[in-house]
Structures are given as C-alpha cells and as structure tokens.
Structure 1
Amino acid sequence: MDRERSWQVIESERLSLADLLDTLTEPEWDRPSLCAGWRVRDVAAHVALAPQPPGPWTMLAEGVRARGSFHRLNHDISVRHADRAGADLVAELRTHAASRRLPPMTNHRNILFDILVHGQDIAIPLSRDRTMPLDAARTGAARVWAMGWPFWARRRLAGIRLRATDIDWTAGHGPHEVRGPIDALLLLLTGRAASLDRLRGDGVATLTAHLARNSARSGYLRSKRSAR
C-alpha cells in the first residue's frame, strides 16, 4: 500500500472510530480494553493524541517524569488526556482525522497499523463489529512482521507458518501452520490473544499455551502493562 492510500485509510479509520465511540455509554468508556491496564477511554485518548503530539520540551519533561521509560511516558500522557468527557475525545478524533502530523520517531506505516489494532482493542471488549480494510491489514501485518521492538513477532512466532485466508499474505516458516483472516493475524502479531478463536491450524494450540503464559509479559501487551 502506498503512502497516499495509507493516509486515506488512517483518516477513514479515525472517523469510523469516532462514530463508534460516539455510541458508548459512560460505563463502556471505562471498560478494560484489550491492552492490559488500559481502559477504552485511555486507548481512545492515545489515538486522538497521535496527530497532535506534544512539543519537544513537553516530551522532555514527560520523559523525566516517566524516569526514562517510553512506555510509562506513553501511558501517562494518554491517561491524563483521557481525563475529559468522551464527547471531547470524539470531537478531537474528527477534528484531526485528516492530519498527517506524526509523533516523534515514527512514520505513517506505524500509524496505519496502530489505528487498525487500537480500533479492535476498543471494539472487541465492547462486542462491537469493526471491519479492517484487507489491504491495510495486510500492509500492517507485513510492517509488524518486519519490526523488532515492541512486538518481536518473528521471535515470538518462530517455527510457525502464518497464512491469511482472505488475502494473499504469508510469513514465517516451520513445522506448524496458523491460518485465518488477515485482521486476526495482525492482532496475533501484536500480541492479542483475543484473535486465537478465529485462527486454525496445528500451531494454534502451541500459541494458546504460549500466550496464556506470557501475554501480560511480552510484546505490545507488555509495553502497555509495564506503563502502569
């Protein structure tokens, strides 16, 4: 997926997430998300902040406050930003949906899978349907697979072949196969155990046991939880 198409999807996903959030009750805003230790409102605030990142001096001060931990910094900024009415977060998402500003040390490829995955972090615990565009999910999966920190997908999924069943995408090699929709595979790559019930293959049992032992301590879920 090229840069322009990526930004178009990012804008669309921000707007559709705003529409979903606009329907939530107050208790739903405070439900746990798929990110360990993060409420729905915290994830929404994190997404809303992406196109309006703090300036360098603010980031420096936040870094000192977080004692040098990027994950704690990320968490604390999001939680403080979440301390406002849900309607205000919805309005921010809509206002900045088309923005192409980037937080420090990232790029549009990361923002693309970030909005896709965080949309599911919110929707799945609330039992809301949220469909990922296939081409965007494939691009996100390829990006996460190629990365190291914070997911370490190739390390965590060593010995497993991944195969999408709804679009042409494969990754990995080994004696075991895991197959399923590309959106479920993207969630798996980013450490979300919630994807396992939509996946098939002889590698699923291995992954289920692994994630049950380590999901709170590995990959993206580790980065979210350790910020508490």
Structure 2
Amino acid sequence: MNRDQIWPVIHAQRGAVAALLETLSDEEWHRPSLCEGWTVRDVAAHLTLQEVGFGGALGMLLRWRGSLDRTIQHAACRRAAALSTGQIVAGVRGTPDARRHNFGVTHLETLTDILVHGQDIAVPLGRDLHTPAEAAAVATTRTLTMRLPPPLPSAKRLAGFRLVATDTAWAHGEGPEVRAPMAALLLLACGRLTALPQLSGAGAAELTGRLSAGARHNG
C-alpha cells in the first residue's frame, strides 16, 4: 500500500472508531482499555491528538513526566478531562481527507495508532471493530522494522520467529513458525498480549512463554 492508499484507510478507521464510541455508555467510557493505566476515554482522547504539529509537541514536552510514554499518557488524560464526550468523538472522526500527522512521525505511525488504539478500546468492551488485514500488514512491517522512532520493546521480543499471517499474504522473520490473523500479529508487535490465544504453529508455545515472561518481568 502506498501513501495515497493508506490515508483513506486511516480516515475510514477513524470513522469506525468514532461510530463505536457513539454507542458507549458512560460506564464503558471509564472502563480500562488494553493500555495499562489508560481508560477507554483516555485512549479516545489520545486519538484526537493525531495531528499535533511542532508547537503542540513542544507544549507536551514542556510538561515532561520523566519518559515519553508517561508524557503522552499525561497529555491524553488532560485532554480526556478537558473535552466533552461529543468533542472527543468529533476529534477522533477528524476532518475527511485531512493528511496531517504528528510532528516527528510518518503516516505509517498514524495508521498504526488508529488500528491498534481502536482495538485497545473495542477488545476489552467485547465490541467487534474490523481491522483490514492489508493495512495491518503494512503497520506490522513498519513496527517490526522501524529505527526512528526507536522500535518498541515488544517488537524486539518477536525476533527469532517466523511470523505468518493466516488471512493475507504476509510473513516476517526467521525461526520457528508462528501463525495468526494479521490483526493479532499487529497487536502482539505492539505489546497487546490479549492476542496470544490466536497463535498457532511450531513456535506458538515458545513465543507465548517468552512474551508472558516479559510481561511478568515488566510488571
């Protein structure tokens, strides 16, 4: 997928997430998401910050919380508290055909953000939110091969396995084979262990053990 093909997917996924958010009860907005320490409302508010320019990024850094992850979470929580539910939904939906992304990243990170954070909201609520397999393949490849921004620790833990999608023509890496739907592989590359039960193949048990041990160590 090239840039002109990716942006319509981003816009469609923003619309799908916004439509899902419109159906949530107040109690669901305050439930935990797949992001540890983040509520559904926090994640949704974070998704309204996908077009932050240099000035906005500088403003976030001036409120530095000791790490980039904590700084981003702090910005999301502040926005979640400042905006009404309707404003958050409108911000997630965004402007049709806009092609802006956050300062310091590319459109590929914007794609990954909306695909993964959409599932961060949907999965713990038991809601179905479709992830296009071809777009997930692009996002997973970017996550596993990126150098700037630095790769995620979760992506590094997938080294030494051959990851194979079961629903699209995609494979990555060398080693014992691990098979799963493309959306599940994207979630694992981004550290969401809720996708572990979807793994199969000769390397599935070994990778599950590695990722589960890593989660216990991090905790």
Task: Provide TM-score, normalisation by structure 1.
Answer: 0.87
1:144 and 1:153 in contact (8 A); partners too = no
Q: Provide the aligned length of Structure 1 versus Structure 2.
A: 216
Alignment partner of 1:215: what SS? helix
1:60 equivalenced with 2:58 (yes/no)? yes
1:102 equivalenced with 2:109 (yes/no)? no
CA-to-aligned-CA distance 1:26-49 (integer Å, 9 cap, x gap): 110111111111111111111111
Q: How far does residue 98 in structure 1 lie from its aligned partner after superposition?
A: 3.3
Alignment partner of 2:125: what SS? coil
Q: Tell me the distance in 1 between the aligned counterparts of 2:125 and 2:208.
A: 22
1:123 and 1:130 in contact (8 A); partners too = yes
- After TM superposition, the structure 1 = structure 2 runs for residues 1-228 of structure 1, keeping only pairs within 5 Å, are 1-51=1-51, 53=52, 55-56=54-55, 58-67=56-65, 69-83=67-81, 84-148=83-147, 149-152=150-153, 155-174=156-175, 176-215=176-215
Q: How far does residue 54 in structure 1 lie from its aligned partner after superposition?
A: 5.6
Change (3 A) 1:211 1:15: same
2:157 and 2:211 in contact (8 A); partners too = no
Structure 2 residues without counterparts, runs of 5 or longer: none
Give percent identity, aligned residues only: 44
Alignment partner of 1:37: what SS? coil
1:14 and 1:97 in contact (8 A); partners too = no
Q: Tell me the distance in 2 between the aligned counterparts of 1:181 and 1:127.
A: 18
2:145 and 2:151 in contact (8 A); partners too = no
| Residue type of the alignment partner of 1:184 | A
Q: How far does residue 69 in structure 1 lie from its aligned partner after superposition?
A: 2.6
Q: How far does residue 59 in structure 1 lie from its aligned partner after superposition?
A: 3.4
Q: Tell me the distance in 1 between the aligned counterparts of 2:92 and 2:4.
A: 20
Q: Tell me the distance in 1 between the aligned counterparts of 2:153 and 2:74.
A: 24
After superposition, the CA RMSD in angstroms is 2.0
Change (3 A) 1:97 1:69: farther
Task: Provide TM-score, normalisation by structure 2.
Answer: 0.90
1:145 and 1:153 in contact (8 A); partners too = no
Q: How far does residue 144 in structure 1 lie from its aligned partner after superposition?
A: 0.9
Larger relative contact order (C-alpha < 8 A, sep ≥ 6)?
1
Change (3 A) 1:217 1:64: farther
Structure 1 residues without counterparts, runs of 5 or longer: 223-228
Q: Tell me the distance in 2 between the aligned counterparts of 1:92 and 1:32.
A: 21
